[in-house]
Amino acid sequence: MKKSIMILSASVALLGIGLTACGKSDIVTDKDGKTHVIVTQKGGEVAQDPWGNLYEKVTDRNGKTVTQVYDFPAIKTNRFKTKVENGVLTVKIPDGWEISDANVMRLRHKNGKCAKADEPPCQIELTYRSDRTRDEVYEIYMNYISKLRSVSENISAEKSFDVKLCGIDAKAFSYHMDDADSTVYYFCVAKGETVVEITADIYDECYDEKSITELINSCVTLKELPSLTTLPAETTAEATNKQ
C-alpha cells in the first residue's frame, strides 16, 4: 500500500467532502472473498487519499464503525474493457489496443503493423509510486539504462528530452534497440504525491516520438487526488474487516 504507514480514521465531518458508504456499487470483494464497504463522495465517485488509496468502512474491536485506507486494485477495467484505471490514473483504451494483463496496467497493440505471429507487439506499461520525487525516480531509471548499456551492444540513438504529459512537464528518455527495429520511450511525470512512469516499447514502423506522445496524451488522464492539506488529522484505528 502506498504510504501504508499512515492509517487514517476519518469521519464525514473531518473530511469535509460528504462521504457515504451505502449501495451495492460501494461493495468490493477482494481475491480472498472478503468484502469491503468502499467510501464514496456525494455524487457517487469513490473517495481517495493523496496516494490513490481508497477508504473503507470497518468495525473496530469495540463494535464502532470507523474509516481506514484500503489499497486501490492494481488494475480495474470497466465491463466493456474500454477503460482501465489504477489508484492515480485512468486510461481510455485507444483503437487498435487492448489490455494484455489482468494484474498490471499494460496495453498491447493488437492490430498494428507490429502484430506478427513470431514477434511481441508494441506495448505500453503504466506504473506509479509515491516514495520518491520525480527526479529521483528518473535517476533510478537512468541507472538501469547504464547497466543495460554495459551488457547490450544493440542500444543506440539515446536521447533525453522534456515533454508535456497530461499538461504537466515530464522528463523523458528514449533509446533504439537495433536488433528489434524498435524504440523504447520512457516518461516520468509527477502530480501531487505520486510519480507516474510510462514505458512504451514501440516498433519503428508503428510510432515515432511525436506520435507515441500524442497517443499517450490522448488516452491517459491523471486523477485529481486530494492534497495533504485536505486530509483529516491522523488517528490510529485498530479495526477488523466485516466478513
Per the model's pLDDT, the better-predicted residue between 54 and 227 turns out to be 54
User: For residue 191, how many other CB atoms are within 10 A of its CB?
Assistant: 19
The domain ranges of the chain are: 12-72+226-240, 88-222
The structural architecture, per CATH, of the domain 88-222 is 3-Layer(aba) Sandwich (3.40)
* pLDDT number for residue 15: 39
Confidence at residue 216, expressed as pLDDT on a 0 to 100 scale: 97
Beta-strand relationship, 35-38 and 54-60: antiparallel
> What is the model's pTM?
0.78
pLDDT at 116: 66
- pLDDT class of 130 with cuts at 50, 70, 90: very high
Judged against a pLDDT cut of 70, whether residue 1 lies above it is answered with: no
End-to-end, the C-alpha distance of the chain in Å comes to: 21
Q: Shortest CA distance to 1 belongs to which of 87, 59, 75, 66? A: 87
Residue 237 banded pLDDT, cuts 50, 70, 90:
very low
Mean per-residue pLDDT, 79-97: 91
